[in-house]
Amino acid sequence: MGPGTRLVVFCQGCPMRCAYCHNPDTWSFGGGERMTVGQVLDLFDRNRPFYRRGGITASGGEPLAQPEFVGALFEAAHADPGGRIHTCLDTSGGAWDAARPERCERLLANTDLVLLDIKHSDPEGHRALTGRDQGVVLSFGDELSRRGIPVVIRHVLVPGITDTIAELEGVGRIISRWDNVCGLDALPYHAMGVHKYEELGMAYRLEGMAVMDPGRVPALRDVILRARAMERS
Protein backbone atom coordinates (compact mmCIF):
# COMPACT_ATOMS: atom_id res chain seq x y z
CA MET A 1 0.00 0.00 0.00
CA GLY A 2 3.05 2.28 -0.06
CA PRO A 3 5.75 3.30 2.41
CA GLY A 4 5.00 3.92 6.08
CA THR A 5 1.61 4.08 7.73
CA ARG A 6 -0.96 5.42 5.28
CA LEU A 7 -4.53 6.51 4.89
CA VAL A 8 -5.88 4.24 2.16
CA VAL A 9 -8.77 5.47 0.03
CA PHE A 10 -10.58 2.57 -1.61
CA CYS A 11 -12.11 3.90 -4.82
CA GLN A 12 -15.33 2.14 -5.79
CA GLY A 13 -15.49 0.54 -9.24
CA CYS A 14 -13.08 -1.56 -11.29
CA PRO A 15 -13.18 -2.54 -14.98
CA MET A 16 -11.05 -5.66 -14.38
CA ARG A 17 -12.34 -9.01 -13.20
CA CYS A 18 -9.26 -10.71 -11.80
CA ALA A 19 -9.95 -14.32 -10.92
CA TYR A 20 -8.15 -13.95 -7.59
CA CYS A 21 -9.57 -10.53 -6.63
CA HIS A 22 -10.27 -10.39 -2.90
CA ASN A 23 -12.34 -7.20 -3.21
CA PRO A 24 -15.25 -8.14 -5.51
CA ASP A 25 -17.37 -5.76 -3.44
CA THR A 26 -15.42 -2.89 -5.09
CA TRP A 27 -16.18 -3.94 -8.69
CA SER A 28 -19.49 -2.12 -9.07
CA PHE A 29 -19.32 1.54 -10.05
CA GLY A 30 -22.69 2.05 -8.40
CA GLY A 31 -21.90 1.54 -4.71
CA GLY A 32 -19.54 3.09 -2.22
CA GLU A 33 -19.71 6.24 -0.12
CA ARG A 34 -19.31 9.65 -1.74
CA MET A 35 -16.58 11.77 -0.18
CA THR A 36 -15.06 15.11 -1.03
CA VAL A 37 -11.36 15.87 -1.18
CA GLY A 38 -11.80 17.97 1.96
CA GLN A 39 -13.40 15.10 3.85
CA VAL A 40 -10.53 12.76 2.98
CA LEU A 41 -7.93 15.33 4.04
CA ASP A 42 -9.84 15.93 7.29
CA LEU A 43 -9.61 12.21 7.99
CA PHE A 44 -5.87 12.37 7.36
CA ASP A 45 -5.48 15.43 9.53
CA ARG A 46 -7.19 13.80 12.51
CA ASN A 47 -4.38 11.24 12.68
CA ARG A 48 -1.57 13.21 11.06
CA PRO A 49 1.14 12.28 13.61
CA PHE A 50 0.31 8.62 13.01
CA TYR A 51 0.94 9.03 9.24
CA ARG A 52 4.17 11.02 9.71
CA ARG A 53 6.33 8.65 7.66
CA GLY A 54 3.49 7.57 5.36
CA GLY A 55 0.91 9.44 3.34
CA ILE A 56 -2.20 8.81 1.31
CA THR A 57 -2.71 5.84 -1.00
CA ALA A 58 -5.53 5.65 -3.55
CA SER A 59 -6.45 2.03 -4.10
CA GLY A 60 -9.56 0.17 -5.15
CA GLY A 61 -11.34 -0.96 -6.98
CA GLU A 62 -9.48 1.06 -9.54
CA PRO A 63 -8.43 4.64 -8.71
CA LEU A 64 -7.52 5.30 -12.36
CA ALA A 65 -11.22 4.94 -13.21
CA GLN A 66 -11.89 8.25 -11.42
CA PRO A 67 -8.75 10.23 -12.23
CA GLU A 68 -10.34 13.66 -11.76
CA PHE A 69 -11.16 12.99 -8.11
CA VAL A 70 -7.88 11.27 -7.27
CA GLY A 71 -5.98 13.99 -9.15
CA ALA A 72 -7.71 16.68 -7.10
CA LEU A 73 -7.03 14.73 -3.90
CA PHE A 74 -3.32 14.26 -4.66
CA GLU A 75 -2.89 17.89 -5.72
CA ALA A 76 -4.49 19.03 -2.46
CA ALA A 77 -2.33 16.55 -0.51
CA HIS A 78 0.82 18.06 -2.01
CA ALA A 79 -0.35 21.59 -1.21
CA ASP A 80 -1.68 20.72 2.25
CA PRO A 81 -1.12 23.62 4.70
CA GLY A 82 -0.07 21.12 7.39
CA GLY A 83 2.80 19.91 5.19
CA ARG A 84 3.19 18.08 1.91
CA ILE A 85 1.58 14.64 2.03
CA HIS A 86 3.21 11.77 0.13
CA THR A 87 0.88 10.29 -2.50
CA CYS A 88 0.74 6.75 -3.83
CA LEU A 89 -1.43 5.28 -6.59
CA ASP A 90 -2.18 1.57 -6.21
CA THR A 91 -3.43 0.51 -9.63
CA SER A 92 -3.83 -2.28 -12.15
CA GLY A 93 -3.52 0.26 -14.97
CA GLY A 94 -6.66 -1.30 -16.43
CA ALA A 95 -8.62 1.94 -16.64
CA TRP A 96 -5.89 3.93 -18.41
CA ASP A 97 -7.32 5.77 -21.40
CA ALA A 98 -4.42 6.44 -23.76
CA ALA A 99 -6.77 8.34 -26.09
CA ARG A 100 -7.54 10.86 -23.33
CA PRO A 101 -4.34 11.23 -21.28
CA GLU A 102 -5.36 14.73 -20.24
CA ARG A 103 -7.89 13.17 -17.84
CA CYS A 104 -4.96 11.88 -15.80
CA GLU A 105 -2.70 14.94 -16.11
CA ARG A 106 -3.45 16.36 -12.67
CA LEU A 107 -3.24 12.93 -11.09
CA LEU A 108 0.09 11.93 -12.61
CA ALA A 109 1.59 15.36 -11.97
CA ASN A 110 0.91 14.82 -8.26
CA THR A 111 1.73 11.14 -7.80
CA ASP A 112 4.92 10.32 -5.88
CA LEU A 113 4.81 6.57 -6.27
CA VAL A 114 2.82 4.03 -8.29
CA LEU A 115 2.21 0.44 -7.31
CA LEU A 116 1.51 -1.21 -10.66
CA ASP A 117 0.21 -4.76 -10.96
CA ILE A 118 1.46 -6.86 -13.83
CA LYS A 119 -1.18 -9.55 -13.68
CA HIS A 120 0.07 -11.81 -16.45
CA SER A 121 2.87 -11.46 -18.99
CA ASP A 122 1.08 -13.26 -21.81
CA PRO A 123 -1.67 -11.30 -23.60
CA GLU A 124 -4.06 -14.26 -23.77
CA GLY A 125 -3.27 -15.29 -20.21
CA HIS A 126 -3.90 -11.71 -19.14
CA ARG A 127 -7.30 -11.64 -20.76
CA ALA A 128 -8.24 -15.01 -19.29
CA LEU A 129 -7.15 -13.96 -15.80
CA THR A 130 -8.51 -10.41 -15.75
CA GLY A 131 -11.01 -10.06 -18.60
CA ARG A 132 -9.09 -7.06 -19.95
CA ASP A 133 -6.55 -6.31 -22.65
CA GLN A 134 -2.95 -6.32 -21.45
CA GLY A 135 -2.03 -3.55 -23.89
CA VAL A 136 -3.81 -0.95 -21.74
CA VAL A 137 -1.64 -1.83 -18.77
CA LEU A 138 1.58 -1.73 -20.78
CA SER A 139 0.58 1.60 -22.30
CA PHE A 140 0.08 3.00 -18.81
CA GLY A 141 3.46 1.62 -17.73
CA ASP A 142 5.05 3.33 -20.74
CA GLU A 143 3.43 6.62 -19.73
CA LEU A 144 4.79 6.33 -16.18
CA SER A 145 8.23 5.58 -17.58
CA ARG A 146 8.07 8.58 -19.90
CA ARG A 147 7.24 10.77 -16.92
CA GLY A 148 9.85 9.15 -14.68
CA ILE A 149 7.37 8.42 -11.89
CA PRO A 150 8.81 5.78 -9.53
CA VAL A 151 7.01 2.46 -9.86
CA VAL A 152 6.93 -0.62 -7.68
CA ILE A 153 5.81 -3.59 -9.75
CA ARG A 154 3.55 -6.17 -8.14
CA HIS A 155 2.91 -9.66 -9.37
CA VAL A 156 0.57 -12.09 -7.64
CA LEU A 157 1.91 -15.64 -7.76
CA VAL A 158 -0.96 -18.05 -8.44
CA PRO A 159 0.07 -21.73 -8.55
CA GLY A 160 0.08 -23.03 -12.12
CA ILE A 161 -1.12 -19.71 -13.57
CA THR A 162 1.38 -16.96 -12.81
CA ASP A 163 4.26 -18.84 -11.17
CA THR A 164 5.70 -20.74 -14.14
CA ILE A 165 9.23 -19.95 -15.31
CA ALA A 166 7.95 -18.79 -18.70
CA GLU A 167 5.47 -16.46 -17.04
CA LEU A 168 7.97 -15.02 -14.56
CA GLU A 169 10.56 -14.46 -17.27
CA GLY A 170 7.87 -12.76 -19.31
CA VAL A 171 7.18 -10.36 -16.45
CA GLY A 172 10.91 -9.67 -16.20
CA ARG A 173 11.06 -8.85 -19.89
CA ILE A 174 8.06 -6.54 -19.70
CA ILE A 175 9.41 -4.50 -16.81
CA SER A 176 12.92 -4.38 -18.29
CA ARG A 177 11.80 -1.60 -20.63
CA TRP A 178 10.93 0.77 -17.76
CA ASP A 179 13.86 2.66 -16.18
CA ASN A 180 11.61 4.00 -13.43
CA VAL A 181 10.98 0.62 -11.78
CA CYS A 182 12.30 0.94 -8.22
CA GLY A 183 10.92 -2.20 -6.62
CA LEU A 184 9.25 -5.56 -7.14
CA ASP A 185 6.71 -7.13 -4.81
CA ALA A 186 6.03 -10.78 -5.57
CA LEU A 187 2.86 -11.59 -3.66
CA PRO A 188 1.76 -15.12 -2.75
CA TYR A 189 -1.77 -15.99 -3.83
CA HIS A 190 -4.09 -16.44 -0.86
CA ALA A 191 -7.79 -17.18 -0.57
CA MET A 192 -8.71 -14.71 2.16
CA GLY A 193 -11.33 -12.97 0.05
CA VAL A 194 -13.29 -16.08 -0.88
CA HIS A 195 -15.91 -15.52 1.83
CA LYS A 196 -16.86 -12.23 0.12
CA TYR A 197 -17.91 -14.14 -3.01
CA GLU A 198 -20.11 -16.36 -0.87
CA GLU A 199 -21.64 -13.34 0.85
CA LEU A 200 -22.28 -11.67 -2.52
CA GLY A 201 -23.68 -14.87 -4.05
CA MET A 202 -20.95 -14.81 -6.72
CA ALA A 203 -18.97 -17.73 -8.14
CA TYR A 204 -15.27 -17.80 -7.26
CA ARG A 205 -13.33 -18.80 -10.38
CA LEU A 206 -10.33 -20.18 -8.49
CA GLU A 207 -12.40 -22.41 -6.21
CA GLY A 208 -10.19 -25.17 -4.83
CA MET A 209 -6.95 -23.51 -5.95
CA ALA A 210 -4.08 -24.22 -3.55
CA VAL A 211 -2.59 -21.15 -1.91
CA MET A 212 0.99 -20.19 -2.75
CA ASP A 213 3.66 -21.40 -0.32
CA PRO A 214 5.29 -18.16 0.90
CA GLY A 215 8.58 -20.04 1.13
CA ARG A 216 8.72 -20.24 -2.67
CA VAL A 217 8.27 -16.52 -3.20
CA PRO A 218 11.90 -15.29 -2.93
CA ALA A 219 13.11 -17.79 -5.57
CA LEU A 220 10.21 -16.95 -7.91
CA ARG A 221 10.88 -13.23 -7.47
CA ASP A 222 14.52 -13.86 -8.37
CA VAL A 223 13.44 -15.41 -11.68
CA ILE A 224 11.72 -12.14 -12.61
CA LEU A 225 14.71 -10.07 -11.54
CA ARG A 226 17.20 -12.25 -13.43
CA ALA A 227 15.12 -12.07 -16.62
CA ARG A 228 14.89 -8.30 -16.25
CA ALA A 229 18.63 -7.95 -15.71
CA MET A 230 19.38 -10.20 -18.69
CA GLU A 231 17.09 -8.23 -20.95
CA ARG A 232 18.70 -4.95 -19.89
CA SER A 233 22.31 -6.17 -20.20
Residues in touch with ligand SF4 (CB under 6 A): 14, 16-18, 21, 23, 26, 60-62, 92, 94
Distance of alpha carbon 158 from alpha carbon 166, whole angstroms: 14
Question: Cβ 65 to ligand SF4, closest distance in Å?
Answer: 9
- In the beta sheet, which residues pair with residue 183? 152
Nearest to 88 by CA among 105, 73, 104, 68: 73
Strand order in the sheet with 181-188: 6-11, 55-60, 86-91, 113-117, 151-157, 181-188
Rounded Cα–Cα distance for residues 188 and 168 (Å): 13
Report CA dihedral (39, 43, 44, 49) to the nearest 10 degrees.
Answer: 150
Measured from the CB of residue 17, what is the shortest distance to ligand SF4 in angstroms? 5
Q: Which amino acid is at 208?
A: G
Nearer to ligand SF4, 62 or 169 (CB): 62
Q: Which is nearer to ligand SF4, 22 or 216 (CB)?
A: 22
Minimum CB–partner distance for residue 156 and ligand SF4 (Å): 8
Q: How far is the CB of 181 from ligand SF4 (least distance, A)?
A: 19
| Smallest separation, CB 20 to ligand SF4 (Å) | 7
Nearest to ligand SF4 of 92, 111 (CB atom): 92
Of residues 116 and 168, the one with the C-beta less far from ligand SF4: 116
Question: Which of residues 13 and 41 has its CB atom nearest to ligand SF4 in the complex?
Answer: 13
